[in-house]
Structure 1
Amino acid sequence: MKPPQHTALTFEKLFAEIDPKVANTFTVEQLEAIKRGFSSPAWTRHSLNIRVSVPIPGLRFYLVLLAGSERRSQVRLRSEKGLYPFWTPVNILFIIGFLSILSVSGYTIFSFILSSLTHLSSNYPTSIPWISDKSECEHTGRIWRDGKCWDSEHNPNF
């Protein structure tokens, strides 16, 4: 339930927008019924309520993301679908941009994690320059080839 003060402020904002000629026609009972409607559970907060002002120089831009239980009637949903269509040019551009950023970020993170895992488990053979004798090389468990001592378990992260 909303605090009474918040409900009163919301009602006062709405009432201030009504033409005074119309506002004067409301009875006390009608005004009380409207106030009760504002304090009903249908006007409670959303489960997810993110409101952000985006600091873009020269533009006043904001972003709102709301989510929660659907409490609107089918009639209202149909009427709002006509008033606020989803597939508008701006919405399409936003969705394309958002999905592009999401896919590039996901690919970058995935490739970074994958490369980290492969580097940890991969070994690269390398010659050991300080061992120049075949018997000393084989004594340390390495392979003598082409006049060099090769270590097949060298890890570049060493």
Structure 2
Amino acid sequence: MNNTHYNNPTFEQLFSQINPEIASTFTDKQIEALKRGFSYNKSSRHFLNIRVSIPIPRLGFYLVLLAGSERRSQNRLRSEKGLYPFWTLSNSLFVIGFLSILSICCFTIFSFVLSSLNLTSPLSYPTSIPWIYDKSECEYTDRVWRDDKCWDYEHSPNF
């Protein structure tokens, strides 16, 4: 194999897996063309490219999330749809799990934000104060004495 200025680890790995008898039949021009085909292409970059290995004991697990503008042909899209169907059991379980976690997180954050806002009701709810038994003490606390009970007309339901 001719070493030229096109060094690509993916190409090197793939080419090393070709049977040596077959690899020896490639001409320098063919190898150059293959290397150029594997060379870095800025137009193949994705807008979003997240690749994570998740260390789960006894499992080699990884997650890849790619997003960007669609550049595949309609024929290729149709053929890949048959090769890689979206609604498989594992994909469905992942989507359900992801949406469940997202919903729980959103609910928790929403609940926290609402509880941190000091939302007070503009309405007041009158209630009798059971530990005040006489009119003078009731009026002294800026409440109203009525029907032999001390009433608080500004009682908050958050009390």
Whether these two folds match at TM > 0.5 is: yes
CA RMSD of aligned residues (A): 3.5
Q: How many residues align?
A: 150
Contact 1:134–1:144 (8 Å) recurs in 2: yes
Which protein has the larger Cα radius of gyration, Structure 1 or Structure 2? 2
Q: Distance in 2 between the 1:144 and 1:5 partners?
A: 97
Counterpart residue identity of residue 119, structure 2: L
- Measured after TM superposition, the shift of residue 15 of structure 1 is 0.9
Contact 2:11–2:38 (8 Å) recurs in 1: yes
> Secondary structure of 1:152's partner?
coil
Counterpart residue identity of residue 150, structure 1: D
- Measured after TM superposition, the shift of residue 135 of structure 1 is 3.3
Is there any run of 5+ residues in structure 2 with no aligned partner, and where? Answer: none
Q: Identity, % of aligned pairs?
A: 58
What's the TM-score, normalizing by structure 1?
A: 0.71
Contact 2:6–2:39 (8 Å) recurs in 1: no
Partner of 2:140: 136
Partner of 1:9: 9
> Secondary structure of 2:61's partner?
strand
What's the TM-score, normalizing by structure 2?
A: 0.70
* Alignment CA distance shift 1:18-1:40 (3 Å): same
- Measured after TM superposition, the shift of residue 43 of structure 1 is 6.6
* Alignment CA distance shift 1:81-1:90 (3 Å): same
Q: Distance in 2 between the 1:144 and 1:19 partners?
A: 101
Partner of 2:34: 34
* Alignment CA distance shift 1:5-1:27 (3 Å): closer
Q: Distance in 1 between the 2:80 and 2:6 partners?
A: 26
Partner of 2:119: 120
Contact 1:49–1:66 (8 Å) recurs in 2: yes
Specify which structure has the higher proportion of helix: 1
> Secondary structure of 2:50's partner?
strand
Partner of 1:46: 46
Q: Distance in 2 between the 1:49 and 1:99 partners?
A: 21
- Measured after TM superposition, the shift of residue 103 of structure 1 is 1.9
Of residues 147, 151, 154, the one that matches 1:152 is: 154
* Alignment CA distance shift 1:58-1:28 (3 Å): closer
* Alignment CA distance shift 1:82-1:22 (3 Å): farther
